[in-house]
Structure 1
Amino acid sequence: ELSAGETNEDGTVTGGTITSEVNGIVKTINVTAGGNTDPATAIMTIEVPDRGYTVSITVTSDQASKVTVGDSATIQTGYWGGSDLQGRLIGIRNDPTNPQTSRLLVFEVTGDSIESGTQVSVSIGQRSQNYDLIVPNSAVRSDANGSFVLMMTSKSSPLGTRYQATRVDVQVVASDDVNSAVTGAIVAYDYVITNSTAPIEDGMYVRLADNA
């Protein structure tokens, strides 16, 4: 809002005072002393901390289906990832660039060290649930008969201990980008094969990696 000042013959106003309707922090000023203003261009940008801050991330539709508005999120800043910020999911929207397969998760961010333009890392997980068996995704294999893992069993021989890959059928009940929760005829202390230097099949003998 422009008040006072003098109007020149050409209609320009000089010497006036610009007053904002809100209290906040001036982030940018788009004019210089002595310059003219354009009615279509904002003179300055004011950040209003009282209105809060939000951040949006793009996820797949499947990932979006695993979270709910109100879920808490971990907010990290900087190279080392530490911060005093807290996040809360306040909206799940269609991604305008890819509405068929993507969604936008909108988070409210609070904390003392937040300001507009801050680069943050957001992580949010499926609501807490306990699973008896969790294995790396690389351990889960599949074929026409379903999902399975290759469990490593040991057998003693005159030449020492030999290790054999044994197929165990499993059912994947939950998964993320790193691990899968499974059910099947394995227990927490069994060893499963996650990777190998050559293809492995059920019944084959294997050798442990040097650093195993």
Structure 2
Amino acid sequence: MRIYSFEKLPSTQRWLIEKIGEKAVEPPCAVVTEWQTDGIGSRESRWIGRPGNFFASIALPESYLPDDLPLPSASIYFAFLMKTTLKERGSATWVKWPNDLYLEGRKIGGCITMKKGRTVVVGIGVNIVDAPRNFGVLDIEISSSELLESFLENVEEAPSWKQIFSNFRLEFENSKKFRIHDGRESVDLRKAVLQNDGSLLIGKRRVVSLR
């Protein structure tokens, strides 16, 4: 997989989507930067990046994804793959539904996914050296290049959704300490029932991944 590396970019996600549209890059490929100044977060929010943290986006043809992966839950899938990558290095990171990376009660990163034609573009950010106020920092030492290499190895193995989801379900109880905003209202996750496709059932309402 070809990797494009930069010292500084406004957004790895926007750069990769733009280059795919221009046919200037060919998936599968990835882009990583040492500093991201205007990253994309969930629900069109900004992910504020500090220099030295991990900022990357990966473009994958749909054919590279597991056959059983529900695309609306791709953020859960890739966030959990990142959590798995960090756990292999000794981190206690966990995934808060649907796409946030947490250490105890503080967010240290997150994952977003977007479609561009038949390509899925996965954006991942992790605070590995520094964090804004009220956010956390990764509990292990690892460089951006090491983290990307290890993460891509796990992505290329393409474990099934069933395999990823069975593990994610076990730690979903951690998410129930939180509330989320689904674009309409604040939702208490204590009332949520996790469905097999990664969506939530809250009363009679189904809530799918926020990104």
Higher RCO by CA contacts (8 Å cutoff, separation 6 or greater): 2
Question: Which structure carries more helix by proportion?
Answer: 2
TM-score (norm 1): 0.18
TM-score (norm 2): 0.18
Question: Which structure carries more strand by proportion?
Answer: 1
